[in-house]
Amino acid sequence: MSLSLTDPDLRALLAGTLADGAVDGAVICLCAAWCGTCRDFEAGFRQAAAAHPRVAFRWVDIEDEADALGDVDIETFPTLLVGGRDGAVRFAGPVLPQPGQIARLLHSLGL
C-alpha cells in the first residue's frame, strides 16, 4: 500500500508536530526500534535536525505510537513524512537511509 498525501491520519500527525512551534515545516521519521536500518539512520536524522533549525523533526516509533498513526501501514523503513507550515503533506514514503537524502528532499520541496 502506498501512502496518500491526503490521508487524514498523516495530516493529523503532521499537524501535531507543527503545533510545537513556529517553523517552516516538519520531517517525521516513521521507524521501529527493532529495525537495524532505523537504528543506524537515527544519528543522521538527528544531525539533519540540527542542520535545519526552522524545520521540526520528530522520530516516531510505529509500535510505541501506533495510536497516532491510525490506519497508516508502514511497510518500508525508514519512511519519511514531510509537510509545510500550512499542514499540507508534501512527501510521504520510504527513503534511502542516508542523512543527505533529507537535505535533498527539503531543498526539492522548498523547505
Grid cell at residue 85: 507550515
CB 102 within 8 A of CB 47: no
pLDDT in tens, 62-75: 888 888 777 777 88
Predicted local confidence at residue 9, as pLDDT: 80
Q: What's the predicted TM-score (pTM) here?
A: 0.89
- Hey, which residues does 81 pair with through a beta bridge? 28, 92
CB 77 within 8 A of CB 31: yes
Domain residue spans of the chain: 25-108
Question: Does residue 1 carry a pLDDT above 50?
Answer: no
Q: What is the mean pLDDT of the chain?
A: 87
Give the pLDDT band of residue 102 (cuts 50, 70, 90): very high
CATH fold label, 25-108: Glutaredoxin (3.40.30)
Predicted local confidence at residue 56, as pLDDT: 94
